[in-house]
Amino acid sequence: MLFNSLSFALFLSVVFVVYWYLTNNNLRLQNILLLAASYFFYSCWDWRFLFLLIFSTLLDYFTGIKMQDAGSKISRKNWFWLSIIVNLGFLGVFKYYNFFADTFAEVMSHAGIEVNPFTIQVILPVGISFYTFHGLSYVIDIYKRKIIPEYNFVDYAVFVSFFPLLVAGPIERATHLLPQIKKPRVFDYAKAIDGLRQILWGLFKKVVIADNCAVIANRIFDLSDDLSGSTLLVGALFFTFQIYCDFSGYSDIALGTARLFGIELLRNFAFPYFSRDIAEFWRRWHISLSSWFKDYLYIPLGGSKGGTWMKIRNTIFIFLVSGFWHGANWTFIAWGLLNALYIIPSIVLNTNRNNMDIVASGKYLPTAKEALSIGTTFILTLFAWIFFRSDSISSAFTYITNIFKPSLFTIPSIRSSNLFLLLTFFTIVEWICRNKKHCLEFDHHLFVKPLRITIYLVLTYCILFNLKFHEESEFIYFQF
């Protein structure tokens, strides 16, 4: 059940009405309903993996309690490591086993030894990277005595499997989400309307922009060997917008949906393509994952306390792990490494925390220096996405090399003027809204009701006339 499908619209409407009308604001009933709805939602992907989700939830629920009740430090530590090993074990088996087995075979064949490792033919359980990280943060926080365990299983299970964030995040923290799940929730009209607006904007980004960019980007990446440099650049540009609108569109729908149920999720995107340097980009892109790695990996490794070399080592490590988290392919690792290389100069020069504010705040346009910084960061990001999108590192290098052919200065053979216009319009709208949570967060004095309704109608028709009813259009991050 995809967010951009009629079945999800129907599912959401039913759950919403039952949640607010039939539970009579009874928190226990609301949470039971959310859990049942979440399990139903997940089982629509593949009901067999529901058992894996329930097992993972039970494991962290009990180990959390056992750690709290443990009589000794060793016992506490044992329960902690049991949870970590099992959680990472599942992730390793389902997501990375074949990658390691194949890599091992390849390395051995280079050494002249032929091995045929056993590979498993199993599809990746959707959302496993996300709910495993939920569980891990919960267990680590209990171990570090930042939080106490949740004794109510339903509440804990809702925290792990709340359907808006179950399959592709944002990656929540127990400290942020659990208190909301435990707090009585009453219907708030303004919140619900804002949630609907954010869903609408998210759908627009996914259906109208990302899916249309995908058509051209896929074509160009598939035929990349035979195309001109300018066309390849267009392909990379469209993929840059595709992945942003696809993932941030998903996150907008997730946040909007959660808000309909009175729950605020962590923000995942903050207009990252207006970043002035790569460090700022990573504070604005997939924020929930970046902050997860910062809190649970970077800081425990020593963070930025141990001098420049330690900072560089930790940064490279975090970006490699981040790349690997995305998928079991060397291209993701290369993408991570490239981003680490981008960010290292700012660490050395200690300028990585220079741009903490919103660019050109209170102004219509950026300064020439800001515009140059934004442009440079965007281009660096665009080239990194080529690794992310390519099937192999060699094809990514070939793609980039082919961009810099003399044909870079010719007219692209595959292009779409309409899409260019749409992207220009979209970028302008995002620029205007860069200090807001999402682009449909209106100033009611400026956007009077008839104007707001007109915008909703136009966006709805744009979505309806671009939505694919006879084929599925998955979100890119579902594969992670």
Partner 1 sequence: MNKLIKNTLFFFILLIGISYPISHYITTNFNTENKQNWVLKISDYNLDYAITGSSRVAYVIDVKSLDSTYNKKGINIGTSGSCFAEEYLVLSEFISKNKISTLVLNTDELSFDSKKGYKYPFHDYEFLHLFDNYNDVFFDYIPKWKYYLWKIIPITKYIEFNQRFTIRNQSLQDNNMGSNLVNDTKQYKLLFLKGRQSQIKEMDAKYFFKIIDLCGRNKIKVILITTPIYCTKEETNKSNFKHYIDSVSEKLKVKYYDFDRLIEVKRSLFNDSTHTSSEGSIIYSRNLGRQLKIDGE
Interacting residues toward partner 1 by CB under 8 A? 20-21, 187, 189, 192-193, 453, 456-457, 460-461, 464-470
Q: Nearest approach, Cβ of 187 to partner 1 (angstroms)?
A: 5
Give CA–CA dist 269/201, Å, rounded.
13
Q: Which is nearer to partner 1, 353 or 468 (CB)?
A: 468
Phi, psi angle pair for 87, to nearest 5°:
-60, -50
**Residue closest to 56 by CA, chosen among 124, 134, 165:** 134
- What are the residue ranges of helices labelled H in 47-111? 48-69, 73-91, 97-110
φ and ψ at residue 35, rounded to 5 degrees: -65, -45
Tell me the two tokens of residue 413: 């053979």
Backbone dihedral angles phi then psi of residue 433, each to the nearest 5 degrees: -95, 15
CA 142, CA 373: separation in Å to the nearest integer?
41
Nearest-approach distance from CB 466 to partner 1, in angstroms: 7
Rounded to a whole number of angstroms, the minimum distance from the CB of residue 247 to partner 1 is 23
d(CA 264, CA 244): 22
Q: How many CB atoms lie within 10 A of CB 380?
A: 18
Query: Measured from the CB atom, is 144 or 468 closer to partner 1?
Result: 468
Structural contact between residues 386 and 237, judged by C-beta atoms closer than 8 angstroms: no
Report the distance separating Cα 242 and Cα 217, nearest Å: 8
Length of the chain counted residue by residue: 480
CB closer to partner 1, 202 vs 323: 202
Q: Are 438 and 250 in contact (CB under 8 A)?
A: no
Shortest gap between Cβ of 13 and partner 1 (angstroms)? 10
Least separation in angstroms between CB 11 and partner 1: 16
Nearest to 282 by CA among 339, 244, 344, 222: 339
**Which residue's CB is nearer to partner 1, number 210 or number 380?**
210
Q: Which is nearer to partner 1, 59 or 196 (CB)?
A: 196
Would residue 473 be called left, alpha or beta, if left means φ above 0 and alpha means ψ between -120 and 50 degrees? beta
Q: Which is nearer to partner 1, 187 or 309 (CB)?
A: 187
Burial group, residue 312, by CB count within 10 angstroms (0-12, 13-18, 19+): middle
Nearer to partner 1, 109 or 460 (CB): 460
The first and second tokens of residue 9, run together, are 């619209």
User: Residue 99 CB, nearest distance to partner 1 (Å)?
Assistant: 35
- Active-site residue numbers? 326
Nearby residues of 248 by Cβ (< 8 Å), 6 or more positions away: 202, 205, 268, 269
**Do residues 431 and 371 lie in contact, with contact meaning Cβ atoms separated by under 8 Å?**
no
- The dihedral through the CA atoms of 255, 430, 387, 342 has a sign that is negative
* Residue among 86 and 467 whose Cβ is closer to partner 1: 467
Helix axes 189-203 and 229-260, enclosed angle (nearest 10): 160
**Tokens describing residue 291:** 């902050």
* C-alpha to C-alpha distance for 4 and 318, rounded to whole angstroms: 32
Q: Of 245, 238, 233, 244, nearest to 462 (Cα)?
A: 245
Distance in angstroms between the alpha carbons of the first and the last residue of the chain: 17
Cβ neighbour number for residue 286 with a 10 Å cutoff: 22
| Closest approach of partner 1 to the CB of residue 475, in Å | 19
The nearest distance, CB 468 to partner 1, in angstroms, is 6
Q: Nearer Cβ to partner 1, position 305 or 468?
A: 468
